[in-house]
Structure 1
C-alpha cells in the first residue's frame, strides 16, 4: 500500500470532512485519518445545523461545492428560518438532524469520492524538514508522506472531560483523547493554549411529561440549505419543546457551585461567553428567576433528547436534582450527564488567510484547533483549507474570501487578524456587510468563484446562471412595467396602502411594505404571467427578486462602502516595514504589527490596538 499523498487531513469532524472532500474533488490524492470511522462528522453537541449567522455559513459551504448543506437536507427532522421578523440580512436557516443518519450520509459521500482514502488510526507526530511538513506518524507506527497536511483535530488534543470532581481523559464521551501530537507541533515554535466547552445532559424521552411543555413546530415552506435539487423531508418533521428553569432549580445549582469545576479552580481554560453553562447563567444573571430550555430530539427513532440551554459540568446528582424541580422533568431519567471538556488549540494569528501556518510551510489548521466553536465555523474553515492545500500542491493563486464576500471570509479574517480570547462563535453583528451576505444569495456570491477553480461542478454553475437570469428577468419587468390609476386603487386600499394619484412603475409599488410579489401578481395579471414563466425553484427566485427590489438602496450603499475599503485591501505592506524602527506609532501598535505581520493596510486597520493615526503613519511612509 502506498502511503504517499498530496493532502492528508487529520480528523474527520466537520472541518476535516469538508477539507478532505474539497481537496479530493479538486483532484488531489487525499487521505482522511480518523480515530473511528463510525464517528465521521459526529455532532458532538447539539444535533442541529445552522442558526443565527451559522446558517449563512452553511449556505456558503454549499455554494462553494461543499456537503454540509446537502447532508443536512438529507437528514433533517425539523427545519426553521430564524429571525423572520427582521430584515432578510438577519434570516438564518436552522435544522434539527438525525444524528446517526447524519454520520452515515457523510460516510457514504466520503467513501465514494474519487481520490479519497480513509485510514483509521491516531496521529502522534508530524514530520518537518527544513521548515516544511513532509509527513506524519501514527500510533500504529505507520509513516505517511504528504505534500500538505491539514490538522482538524477538534477537542481531541489532550482532551480532558469534567463531571464535578470526576475527570476523564477523552476527546468526547467514551472516545479517547489524542496525545503527543500537540507536543510534536509546538516544538517547531507554534504557540498553543487551552480552551473549554461543554455539552448538556441527554434525556430519555419516555421520562418527560410533554403536556407540561410548550411545542415548537418546524416550518413547511420551500426553504432548505442546499442550492442543489434536494428536498428537505417536511412531512417527517418532528416537534421540539420548550420549558423554563425556576428558582428551586437555581437554588440547587447555587448550592452546588463549590463542586463546579468552573468555580472551584479545577478548570482554568477559556470558556464560551455566548454559549454559557447553566451554572454560569445563574452567576452572571443572579436576578433572573428563569432561563428558557429547549428539548430537541436526537433522531427519528431514538428516545434520546438533547436539552439545549442546560450545559453543565456540575456533579451528576446535582444536575438530576435540579432538573427534577422542573415540572416536565419530575420523573427524569437520563442517558448521561452534561460535562465540560478542556482541549488544546493553536493561536490563529499564526496563520495566513489561506489557513496555512506562517511557521511550518504546507501545514494547515481548521476548526476548533483554531479556537472556534460550532460545526458550521469548522466546516467553513475546512473547505477553505482543503482548497488551499490542493492549490499548494498543484499551483494556483491562494483562494481567500473577503469580508464582503462571505461570513467565512469574516470568520477567517477575524481569526488571523484579531486572534481569540474565548471560543469564537459567528454572529451577524461580526459582519459589517451583512446586507451583502444574506442566506438567499450565497450562490450568487461564491459559486462562480468556486467553479473557476474546479470545485463547484458544471451542474451547480448552470443552476446559478439559470437562477440569476430568472431573477434579472423578474426585476427588469417590474422596473419597466407601468401601472395606471384605475382598478388597482381598490386593491391598494384593500391591502392597507395609499391609492395612486398618478401612474407609476410596478417596482415602486413592490417597494411598499404591504406589497409582495405574490399579492401584487394577483392585481397585475401581466406580472402574474411573468412569474408563471419560472419553472424551477419558483419560490426561491421570487424571494430573491423581492429582496433585491425592496432593499436595493441598502445593498447599493453597502456595496459602495465595501468597494472603498477594498482599495485598502490592494495596498500590500507585508515585508515593507521594520515595525520596530517606526517610532511614530505606538508601542502597542508596533508589537501587534510584528505579531500579526498583516498582508495589507486594510488588514492592519482591523488589528485591535491599531489606531487610525497608526494607519496614517504607515500610508505616509508608503508614499515616501
Structure 2
C-alpha cells in the first residue's frame, strides 16, 4: 500500500502542509501528504484573500524561493491592491482577493502534478519515535507508515473546540472533525503545549444585500501580480468589494449577547489574535468608538457568498443575525453560516531550531499554527522552510536558514524560536528592523539565487531574474552618468514646486528628490529613449525608482545588517554550560538554557538577556 519508507511525511493539507509537500517533493524527496479531507487542500478557512501588510512581502518571498502560493494567488485572484502606496516602498504590500473554490482547486491540481508526491486521506493519531528520533506516523485505522522525517502542519485541528454563544463542540473547522492523539504523544515525549484561539465572521448571501447603501472598494487601476513567473498574468477585470459600518445600535444589540459569550463568560481561556479582534472584543476594548469598518468581500467570481471582514464573532447565532441586520445594506441579510471561535492546541516555538526541526525529537518538524502563528502567509512560509529542511535532513545534507536581513521569513522564524509567543503571532513590517532591504519588489533579487542553488528555482527563473537585475542596474547607472541642463530639468521642477537648478548636473540628483517621480523623468527625451531602446518594463521602472530615491537609506541598512552578520558569525557550542558565566543575570541564565541560541546575535534578541549579559558571553568566548 505504501513504500517501505518515505523521505518526508507531511501531516495536514492546509497552506503550511501544501507548501511543505511541494518543496520536499520538488527537491527530490519521496513525499507523502496525509490529510483528513483531500477535498479541502489549502482551504481558505477564514478570509478569501492573500497578502496584505507584511504578508504580501512573505508571499513574494515564497514565490522567489520556488513555492506555489504566489502562482496560486494570481491564478485565483478576483481583485488586486497594492496597500500603503502613500508611504515609502518598504511599506508597500500586495494583496489579492481570491476565488476561494478556485484557490483550493488550483493548489490541488498543482500538487497532483508534482512528481515524487503521494496522497493519503485519513487522520494521523500518533507518532512513532525511537531513541528520540522520528521514524513514522500511526493513523486512526492503525496503519504505521515509516519515514525519515515528519512535518506536522495541523492548523486548528489539534483537539479543536468550536464556540458559538454558549454552545461548543469538537471540530477543526466548520463541518470538519477535530484531530486527536498527536498532542498526547508529543506531551509524552516531553513537549510543552498550550491553547490558542482564533475566530471567523458569518458568511452571507449577497442576493440579500443592498450594495447601493455601501461604499465601493475597487481594485487598483493598473493591477500587478504576486508571482515573478511568466506563467501567471495580471488581472484584466476585477470584482468590487464594499465597505459599510457598524453603529451604536449594532453595538447595543451585540452587547445583549455578552452574557452568553464564551469570550466573557470564561468558556474561552486561551489567547486570540491581538490585531484581528472579534467584534465583541472591539466593542469592549474600544468603548469610545461608535462605529467600526466592515469590508464586504465576495468569495469568488460567480458565487453569491460574501465574507464580512471585521465582524469575526463567537456570539450566539441569533445575536449575530439581529445585530448585522442593523448595518446599512444588511437589512434583509440571509446567513449562509454564523461566525464562530475555535480553540486549538499549539506548541511554544522556542522548542524548535531555526530549521523548524524540534529540539527534542530528531527529524520532526512543526510548521504553521502549531507554532502559534496566525495567517495563511505565515503558515505557508513555515511550511516551505520545513519542507526544504526535512528534505535536506532526509538526504543527509546541510540546513537552509534565512537570516533577519535576508527575508521576512527569516524574521518570522527567528522571532518565534527566540522570543516565543503567547498569542497568535502575525507578521508586521515593524517587526523587521531591515525592512528597507526586505521590500516586496526585490524578493526575487534576494532569494531566487538561493532557491536556484537549492534546486527549487529553474534555470529559466534564474535567467529572468538576472536579466531584470541587469536592466535595473544599467538604468540606475544611466541616471548616474547622464547630465541634464537647467533649461530641460527646471520646467519639470517648477511644476512640482521643487528648487530650481543653476547648472548642469547628473539626472540621479533631481530624480532622488522625494516629489520627483519616474513619470516626471520620462518627460526628458533621452530617458524615454533609453526605456524604449532597452525594452524596460514596469517592474524594472519601479525597481530603478526605488533604488535611486532610497539609495541613502538602503546603504545605511546594509551597513547595519553587516554589523548583525558579524555577531551571527560567532557561534555558541551546542551544549554550552552557561552556569560557568558567574556574572550572568539569573533571568538570562534561565532563558539561555531554555532556548539554547545558536549564535551570539540570536542570544542578544532573547527577551530578558541584557547587553551586559551579551558582553559577559563575548568576553568568555574571547571576543
Q: Which runs of 4+ in 1 moved over 6 A?
A: none
CA–CA distance in structure 1, aligned partners of residues 191 and 456 of structure 2: 31
- Per the alignment, do residues 233 and 544 of structure 1 end up closer, same or farther by CA in structure 2, a change over 3 Å counting? closer
1:256 aligns with 2:257: yes
CA–CA distance in structure 2, aligned partners of residues 338 and 117 of structure 1: 35
- Given that residues 76 and 233 in structure 1 are in contact (C-alpha distance below 8 angstroms), is that contact kept between their aligned partners in structure 2? no
**Higher mean C-alpha displacement, 220-229 vs 266-275:** 220-229
> Pairwise mapping of residues 438-477 of structure 1 onto structure 2 (< 5 A)?
438-477=439-478
1:600 corresponds in structure 2 to 599
Give the C-alpha shift of residue 526 in structure 1: 1.6
Deviations along 1:255-303, one digit per CA (max 9) or x if unpaired, are: 2211100110001111111100000001101111111110000011111
1:236 corresponds in structure 2 to 237
**Higher mean C-alpha displacement, 350-359 vs 486-495:** 486-495
**Higher mean C-alpha displacement, 570-579 vs 381-390:** 570-579
1:26 corresponds in structure 2 to 27
> Pairwise mapping of residues 171-210 of structure 1 onto structure 2 (< 5 A)?
171-210=172-211
SS at match of 1:327: coil
> Pairwise mapping of residues 52-91 of structure 1 onto structure 2 (< 5 A)?
52-91=53-92
1:615 corresponds in structure 2 to 614
1:103 corresponds in structure 2 to 104
**Higher mean C-alpha displacement, 122-131 vs 489-498:** 489-498
1:329 aligns with 2:330: yes
What is the TM-score when the length of structure 2 is the normalising length? 0.98
- Given that residues 224 and 234 in structure 2 are in contact (C-alpha distance below 8 angstroms), is that contact kept between their aligned partners in structure 1? no
1:15 corresponds in structure 2 to 16
How many residue pairs get aligned? The number is 622
Give the C-alpha shift of residue 171 in structure 1: 0.4
> Pairwise mapping of residues 536-615 of structure 1 onto structure 2 (< 5 A)?
538-575=537-574, 577-615=576-614
- Given that residues 78 and 237 in structure 1 are in contact (C-alpha distance below 8 angstroms), is that contact kept between their aligned partners in structure 2? yes
SS at match of 2:310: strand
1:528 corresponds in structure 2 to 528
- Per the alignment, do residues 509 and 280 of structure 1 end up closer, same or farther by CA in structure 2, a change over 3 Å counting? same
SS at match of 2:274: coil
> Pairwise mapping of residues 145-294 of structure 1 onto structure 2 (< 5 A)?
145-232=146-233, 234-294=235-295
CA–CA distance in structure 2, aligned partners of residues 488 and 423 of structure 1: 52
Give the C-alpha shift of residue 55 in structure 1: 0.2
CA–CA distance in structure 2, aligned partners of residues 487 and 522 of structure 1: 9
CA–CA distance in structure 1, aligned partners of residues 271 and 498 of structure 2: 53
2:392 corresponds in structure 1 to 391
- Per the alignment, do residues 470 and 613 of structure 1 end up closer, same or farther by CA in structure 2, a change over 3 Å counting? same
> Pairwise mapping of residues 366-445 of structure 1 onto structure 2 (< 5 A)?
366-445=367-446
SS at match of 1:486: helix
CA–CA distance in structure 1, aligned partners of residues 223 and 334 of structure 2: 37
**Higher mean C-alpha displacement, 182-191 vs 605-614:** 182-191
- Per the alignment, do residues 233 and 435 of structure 1 end up closer, same or farther by CA in structure 2, a change over 3 Å counting? closer
Give the C-alpha shift of residue 496 in structure 1: 3.1
- Given that residues 433 and 562 in structure 1 are in contact (C-alpha distance below 8 angstroms), is that contact kept between their aligned partners in structure 2? yes
2:296 corresponds in structure 1 to 295
2:342 corresponds in structure 1 to 341
Give the C-alpha shift of residue 233 in structure 1: 5.1
CA–CA distance in structure 1, aligned partners of residues 575 and 612 of structure 2: 19
**Which ranges in structure 1 are unaligned for 5 or more consecutive residues?**
none
- Given that residues 76 and 232 in structure 1 are in contact (C-alpha distance below 8 angstroms), is that contact kept between their aligned partners in structure 2? no
Give the C-alpha shift of residue 581 in structure 1: 4.1
1:126 corresponds in structure 2 to 127
- Per the alignment, do residues 63 and 466 of structure 1 end up closer, same or farther by CA in structure 2, a change over 3 Å counting? same
Give the C-alpha shift of residue 613 in structure 1: 0.6
Deviations along 1:477-525, one digit per CA (max 9) or x if unpaired, are: 11100112324323332343233200000111211223222321222x1
**Higher mean C-alpha displacement, 178-187 vs 464-473:** 178-187
Give the C-alpha shift of residue 40 in structure 1: 0.2
Give the C-alpha shift of residue 327 in structure 1: 2.4
Give the C-alpha shift of residue 474 in structure 1: 0.3
Deviations along 1:294-335, one digit per CA (max 9) or x if unpaired, are: 000001111110000010000011111111111211111111
Deviations along 1:412-449, one digit per CA (max 9) or x if unpaired, are: 00000000110000000100000000000000110101
- Given that residues 24 and 31 in structure 2 are in contact (C-alpha distance below 8 angstroms), is that contact kept between their aligned partners in structure 1? yes
Deviations along 1:106-149, one digit per CA (max 9) or x if unpaired, are: 01100011101111111011100111000111112221110000
1:499 corresponds in structure 2 to 500
CA–CA distance in structure 2, aligned partners of residues 146 and 508 of structure 1: 59
- Per the alignment, do residues 406 and 246 of structure 1 end up closer, same or farther by CA in structure 2, a change over 3 Å counting? same
- Per the alignment, do residues 20 and 532 of structure 1 end up closer, same or farther by CA in structure 2, a change over 3 Å counting? same
SS at match of 1:299: coil
SS at match of 1:540: helix
CA–CA distance in structure 2, aligned partners of residues 452 and 370 of structure 1: 28
- Given that residues 73 and 230 in structure 1 are in contact (C-alpha distance below 8 angstroms), is that contact kept between their aligned partners in structure 2? no
- Given that residues 365 and 385 in structure 1 are in contact (C-alpha distance below 8 angstroms), is that contact kept between their aligned partners in structure 2? yes
CA–CA distance in structure 1, aligned partners of residues 17 and 575 of structure 2: 35
CA–CA distance in structure 2, aligned partners of residues 246 and 566 of structure 1: 51
RMSD: 1.2
2:142 corresponds in structure 1 to 141
SS at match of 2:474: helix
SS at match of 1:329: coil
**Higher mean C-alpha displacement, 525-534 vs 562-571:** 525-534
CA–CA distance in structure 1, aligned partners of residues 552 and 234 of structure 2: 37
Deviations along 1:514-560, one digit per CA (max 9) or x if unpaired, are: 3222321222x122111113437x00110001100000000000010
- Per the alignment, do residues 289 and 81 of structure 1 end up closer, same or farther by CA in structure 2, a change over 3 Å counting? same
CA–CA distance in structure 2, aligned partners of residues 267 and 64 of structure 1: 39
1:308 corresponds in structure 2 to 309
Deviations along 1:345-390, one digit per CA (max 9) or x if unpaired, are: 1110000000000000000000000000000000110100000001
Give the C-alpha shift of residue 580 in structure 1: 3.1
2:117 corresponds in structure 1 to 116
